[in-house]
Amino acid sequence: MGWCDNSFLSKLKCRVLVVGAGGIGCELLKNLVLAGFSNIDVVDMDTIDVSNLNRQFLFRREHVGKSKAETAAQAVRTLVPNVNITSHHDSILNERYNVDFFQQFTVVLSALDNQAARNHINRLCLAARVPLIDSGTSGYLGQVSVILRDKTECYECWSKSKQKTYPGCTIRNTPTELIHCIVWAKHLFNQLFGELDIDDDVSPDLESEEAKRVDEEVKENGTDGRKEDCEERGHTAANGNLVNGMVSDGLKEPQKECVRVWAAKHHFDPQTLFHKFFHDDIKVLLSMENLWKDRRKPTPLEWNELSNQNAGSSRAKTNDHLWTVLECREQFEKALFDLSARVKDDSVLVWDKDDDASVRFVAACGNLRAHIFDISMKTLFDIKSMAGNIIPAIATTNAVVAGMIVVEAMKVVSGKLHKLRNVFITRRPNPHHKVLVDMTPNKPRSSCYVCSEQREVVVKTNVQLTTVRAFQQKFLKEILNMVAPDAMVFITRRPNPHHKVLVDMTPNKPRSSCYVCSEQREVVVKTNVQLTTVRAFQQKFLKEILNMVAPDAMVPSTGNIIASSEEGEMDAVADRKLIEVGVVNGCLLSCDDFQQKLEIRVQVSHDSGLEADEFEIATDSGTVESANGAVIADDVSKKRKSAMEDVEQSPKRARIVDDK
């Protein structure tokens, strides 16, 4: 069957669902219609923003503000006028897009960047038994994954990294990472221009445990010189959201004046605001001596002395140019002028990653605070990515991924499922000199609670403190990504022993979680990636624990080589930490031993509680084995299995009643 065979072209008339009409989606729709697919539905809830125009080529300036799905559909009709394409300007999470809706299609193609939506589509396609081709990009990296029920891993077989949250006292008092400074800068933006939120407080937190001692001393001894110096400028730096605050006695609340009102009274003067946030507030932090016993002290900034603190031009050049401290001050001044001009009496601004002034304000403030705490600064491009919690999009990567989606889609519609491949785009060629790395999709993980037959999950919580509301909202909906969850309790009994001394049993079938004899061949290893070296990973883990003889290991998504059977090849990086060579929490490694003809996929789980060069193997049953092979966890899976046998004999429904 060739490309131009009528039998093949007729197969392309099947119904195809495309979810997402953004960077990948535009390329994908174009590829589909030019390849001959003629029955397409596209769903996207977004509208077109001016920032989309540089890479989402189906859109033009006159389309800004219009539906992505509708505009993309109109654009591809100009390429192939007789194509039957239906657009849906809607969220795929809408209940109308249910299992019955998905069963109308031969294949579903996902071009989303939203994890919750991708989880939802994954589950609906599994329920509808419709093949799903998932995709994603991250800068120069990309992947295409094929998901077939009962045949391959699903999207949720491996845990995905989630956005982090940070304690308020860390943000306000003791930042240690650039992201802490960026969060602080976004909070400052909201304090000055957005809606007032107590969680966005930016000044020193005197309620933290380490700061309470200073607070007591202030009450006993009166205001120290630093605080008086602040009040001479008309505001109290020692209380995050309070300016012009007057404390009449130690028991009464000070009179509150929000930062925005105070800033407006000073006409958003850049030098005045700069002195409060980057000088006076830092001096208050320095007065809390307990904070700095085991930390490097911050350095307050002076408005007129920045040119002597960092050499370089005072003119910001491009988005990938690293600003000097003086340039940060100038960008702060310019952005403050632009933003304050937009603020009316009762209006508020919302931080937008696509708004130039908003991004420059956060980048300048974040870098200034980072410099104060001796944290490495970043470029505007890097900070925009971190502040917007977005992954930089590159048009070329989107185009390559979209092309590979269509290749795999053609295999699905032509019935050649045995030829399906997962494809990864790497930064550098792998040992086989490939940038596009393809691999046969893995079988479903036996421990996956979405696609496995077992569908079990063990959750740890404090049952004495956790509420039913929190269990439903935070666990079932947010963590398990359920849309309309139901939950009930089964009460089971524990089986009695059979009092046997000689116990005989039929040999078990191969364990699906065994990384040697199973088809899956996967293992999860816990280690401290910040302390463990490349040498230890190869010698202690691959050779001693996994008993490999001549191991090779690499990160498929990046092409980084972690271990090599070639003598001397890893000498240059042998003593580097795993995190320094790109092995982070959740990282997947492809490991093989050509002498044993063994291929294993290893997922690395970071555990800060482990010492350097220490490893623990976590099995699918929930047990953990130490480096010497001894089981150090419990037998949860055995108890769970016995309990479930009782469940099969118990009523299918139960309710909890008061025992009166």
110, 197: one domain: no
394 in a known ligand binding site: no
The answer as to whether 229 is a domain residue is: yes
Distance between CA 483 and CA 477 in Å, rounded?
Answer: 6
Total tally of structural domains belonging to the chain: 4
561, 652: one domain: yes
116 in a known ligand binding site: yes
Distance between CA 117 and CA 94 in Å, rounded?
Answer: 10
26 in a known ligand binding site: no
The answer as to whether 357 is a domain residue is: yes
54 in a known ligand binding site: yes
Q: Is 599 helix (H, G, I), strand (E, B) or coil?
A: strand
117 in a known ligand binding site: yes
pLDDT at 628: 37
298, 173: one domain: yes
Tell me the CATH number at 630: 3.10.290.20
Tell me the CATH number at 128: 3.40.50.720
pLDDT at 6: 77
The answer as to whether 161 is a domain residue is: no
φ, ψ of residue 561 in degrees (nearest 5) = -90, 125
531, 629: one domain: yes
248, 304: one domain: yes
Q: Are 615 and 622 in contact (CB under 8 A)?
A: no
The answer as to whether 80 is a domain residue is: yes
pLDDT at 391: 53
The answer as to whether 75 is a domain residue is: yes
Distance between CA 60 and CA 44 in Å, rounded?
Answer: 17
Q: Are 103 and 75 in contact (CB under 8 A)?
A: no
The answer as to whether 450 is a domain residue is: no
pLDDT at 388: 74
User: What does the block give as tokens for 468?
Assistant: 């039913």
Containing structural domain, residue 249: 168-387
The answer as to whether 435 is a domain residue is: yes
Beta-carbon neighbour count of residue 359 at 10 Å? 21
258, 319: one domain: yes
55 in a known ligand binding site: yes
559 in a known ligand binding site: no
Tell me the CATH number at 228: 1.10.10.520
Strand 616-618 to 624-625 pairing: antiparallel
Question: String of b and e for 632-660 (b: at least 16 CB within 10 Å)?
Answer: eeeeebeeeeeeeeeeeeeeeeeeeeeee
627 in a known ligand binding site: no
25 in a known ligand binding site: yes
Positions annotated as catalytic residues are: 169
352, 424: one domain: no
Own/partner contacts of 49-53, CB < 8 Å, gap of 24 or more, are 49/354, 50/354, 51/354, 52/22, 52/23
116, 51: one domain: yes
237, 331: one domain: yes
Distance between CA 481 and CA 115 in Å, rounded?
Answer: 10
154 in a known ligand binding site: yes
The answer as to whether 448 is a domain residue is: no
44 in a known ligand binding site: yes
Distance between CA 244 and CA 234 in Å, rounded?
Answer: 6
560, 644: one domain: yes
654 in a known ligand binding site: no
Given a cut of 70, the residues of the chain with pLDDT beneath it are 1-4, 160-169, 196-201, 203, 205-257, 307-320, 345-346, 389-392, 488-506, 619-660
328 in a known ligand binding site: no
pLDDT at 162: 55
Q: For residue 617, what are the β-bridge partners?
A: 525, 625
pLDDT at 366: 95
339, 220: one domain: yes
20 in a known ligand binding site: yes
537, 658: one domain: yes
Distance between CA 89 and CA 103 in Å, rounded?
Answer: 20
Distance between CA 524 and CA 605 in Å, rounded?
Answer: 7
Nearest CA-CA partner of 541 in 595, 608, 607, 591: 591
